[in-house]
Amino acid sequence: MRPRGRQWWKLVGLAGVVGVAATGVVAARADRQRKAYTPDEVRARLHERYTRAYAARDGKQEIPLTQPTWRARSAAALHRLRSRLPGSH
């Protein structure tokens, strides 16, 4: 028995409801995992990230903590271009 006419729309609506419910489940799970950290764990992770970034700056060794955004990449490129212009030193 194949769906006809309005039955297709009912199936599309049902699929939408299932998708929304699944998204809610995923969001709730992520929220529970995020809230599972104790304040000491969060503090320790932040200190670790800071130490890595500071060591990278001192050693001139780049350790990316996060991927640069499009905005940050374009700002860095503009800064490099401006520094190459005559009279900018």
**34-89 residue pLDDT tens:** 778 888 888 888 988 888 888 777 765 555 666 778 888 888 888 888 888 877 65
Show the DSSP H helices in the chain as ranges.
6-35, 39-58, 70-84
**Residue 63 has what pLDDT?**
59
Domains: count for the chain: 1
**Residue 64: helix, strand or coil by DSSP?**
coil
* 65 in any annotated domain: no
Q: What pTM value is reported for the model? A: 0.37
36 is a domain residue: yes
Which helix (H) or strand (E) segment is 60 a member of? none
What are the angstrom distances between the C-alpha of 63 and each of 7, 44, 45, 80?
Answer: 55, 18, 16, 20
Asked whether residue 47 is domain-assigned, the answer is yes
Kindly state whether residue 88 falls inside one of the protein's structural domains: no
Degrees, nearest 5: CA angle 42-45-47: 110
Is residue 69, in this structure, part of any structural domain at all? Answer: no
